[in-house]
A and B are shown apart, each in its own frame.
Chain A
Amino acid sequence: MLKLEEDIRLRTLELSAEALPAFCEDISGMFGVEMETVIQPSCNETVSGLQKRFKKLTAINSVSAEGVLNGTFHVVFDQGGLFTLAGVVVMLPENRIKEVIRQGSKEEAQRMSDAIAELGNMMVGTWDRVFREALRKKHRHFKQTGTFIGKPWDNPESVLGVGAQEEFLFMPATMTVDSYPAFTCGVIFPSSIFETAAENGPQQKQDVAGDEALRADDVVPVPVEGDDELTEPAALEEAAPEPDERAAEPGPEATEDAAIAAAGGEDETMEQESAAADAQEQAADDEAVEENAPAVVAETPAAKPQQPACPRPEPAAAVDAAAQPRFTHPMLTMTAAQIMQKEAAWLTPADTVQDAINKMQQHETGYVMIGDGGVLQGIVSRSDVAGAVSPYLRPVFAKWKRPLDDATLQIKLTWIMTRPVRTITPQTSLDVIVDTMLHFGGRCLPVVDQAGAVQGIVTAFDIFKVLTTSRDVSQTGRMPQTAIPLV
Chain B
Amino acid sequence: MAKSLLIVDDSATMRKIVIRTVRMSGLDFDRTEEAGNGAEAIEKLKQSPVDIVLCDVNMPEMNGIDMVKKVRAELPTCANTKIIMVSTESSQDLIDSILREGANGYITKPFTPERFQEKLSPFMN
Give A contacts to B, CB under 8 Å: 23, 26-27, 29-30, 32, 89-91, 114-115, 117-118, 121-122, 124-126, 128-129, 132, 140-141, 143-144
Which of B10-18, B42-50, B67-75 has 4 or more CB atoms under 8 Å from chain A?
B10-18
CB contacts (< 8 Å) of B109 on chain A: these are: 121-122, 125
B14, A118: Cβ atoms closer than 8 Å: yes
A141, B110: Cβ atoms closer than 8 Å: no
Q: What are the interface flags for B85-100 relative to A under an 8 Å C-beta threshold, 1 for contact and 0 otherwise?
A: 0011111000000000
State in angstroms the CA–CA spacing of A141 and B112 once bound together.
Answer: 22
Known: A90-B13, A118-B14, A125-B110. A30 touches B88 (CB 8 A): no
Q: Which residue of the partner chain A has the closest CB to B108?
A: A125
B91, A132: Cβ atoms closer than 8 Å: yes
Q: Which residue of the partner chain A has the closest CB to B91?
A: A141
State in angstroms the CA–CA spacing of A23 and B110 once bound together.
Answer: 8
A27-B110, A114-B12 given; 9 more Cβ-contact pairs under 8 Å: A23-B110, A26-B110, A30-B17, A30-B21, A30-B111, A122-B110, A125-B108, A125-B110, A129-B90
Q: Which residue of the partner chain A has the closest CB to B12?
A: A114
22 CB contacts below 8 A, A to B, read A29-B110, A30-B21, A30-B112, A32-B24, A89-B13, A89-B17, A90-B16, A114-B13, A121-B88, A122-B109, A122-B110, A124-B88, A125-B87, A125-B88, A125-B89, A125-B109, A126-B110, A132-B90, A140-B91, A141-B89, A141-B91, A144-B88
* Most chain A C-beta atoms within 10 Å of own C-beta, residue among B20, B87, B88, B91: B88
CB contacts (< 8 Å) of B89 on chain A: these are: 125, 128, 141, 143
B13, A115: Cβ atoms closer than 8 Å: yes
Instruction: Give min CB distance, A486 to chain B, whole Å.
Output: 38
Give B contacts to A, CB under 8 Å: 11-14, 16-17, 20-21, 24, 87-91, 108-112, 114
Q: Which residue of the partner chain A has the closest CB to B20?
A: A91
Instruction: Give min CB distance, B1 to chain A, whole Å.
Output: 28
Q: Which residue of the partner chain A has the closest CB to B112?
A: A29
- Secondary structure at chain B's binding surface: helix, strand, loop or mixed? mixed
B90, A118: Cβ atoms closer than 8 Å: no
CB contacts (< 8 Å) of A90 on chain B: these are: 13, 16
State in angstroms the CA–CA spacing of A122 and B20 once bound together.
Answer: 16
Give the top 7 A-B pairs by smallest Cβ distance, nearest first.
A125-B88, A26-B110, A29-B112, A125-B109, A122-B110, A114-B13, A115-B13
- Secondary structure at chain A's binding surface: helix, strand, loop or mixed? helix
CB contacts (< 8 Å) of A140 on chain B: these are: 91
Instruction: Give min CB distance, A223 to chain B, whole Å.
Output: 28
Q: Which residue of the partner chain B has the closest CB to A116?
A: B13
B90, A125: Cβ atoms closer than 8 Å: yes
Q: Which residue of the partner chain B has the closest CB to A122?
A: B110
CB contacts (< 8 Å) of A29 on chain B: these are: 110, 112, 114
Instruction: Give min CB distance, A112 to chain B, whole Å.
Output: 9
State in angstroms the CA–CA spacing of A141 and B108 once bound together.
Answer: 14
B112, A129: Cβ atoms closer than 8 Å: no
State in angstroms the CA–CA spacing of A32 and B89 once bound together.
Answer: 23
Instruction: Give min CB distance, B97 to chain A, whole Å.
Output: 14
CB contacts (< 8 Å) of B13 on chain A: these are: 89-90, 114-115, 118
Q: Which residue of the partner chain A has the closest CB to B92?
A: A132
State in angstroms the CA–CA spacing of A125 and B114 once bound together.
Answer: 17
CB contacts (< 8 Å) of A141 on chain B: these are: 89, 91
State in angstroms the CA–CA spacing of A115 and B20 once bound together.
Answer: 15
B111, A118: Cβ atoms closer than 8 Å: no
State in angstroms the CA–CA spacing of A30 and B21 once bound together.
Answer: 7
Q: Which residue of the partner chain B has the closest CB to A128?
A: B90
Instruction: Give min CB distance, A371 to chain B, whole Å.
Output: 42
Q: Which residue of the partner chain B has the closest CB to A120?
A: B88
Instruction: Give min CB distance, A82 to chain B, whole Å.
Output: 14
CB contacts (< 8 Å) of B12 on chain A: these are: 114
CB contacts (< 8 Å) of B87 on chain A: these are: 125
Instruction: Give min CB distance, B37 to chain A, whole Å.
Output: 15
A129, B108: Cβ atoms closer than 8 Å: yes
Instruction: Give min CB distance, B110 to chain A, whole Å.
Output: 4
CB contacts (< 8 Å) of A117 on chain B: these are: 11
CB contacts (< 8 Å) of A124 on chain B: these are: 88
Known: A26-B110, A30-B21, A30-B111. A128 touches B11 (CB 8 A): no
State in angstroms the CA–CA spacing of A90 and B111 once bound together.
Answer: 16
Instruction: Give min CB distance, A408 to chain B, whole Å.
Output: 27
CB contacts (< 8 Å) of A30 on chain B: these are: 17, 21, 110-112
Instruction: Give min CB distance, A454 to chain B, whole Å.
Output: 49
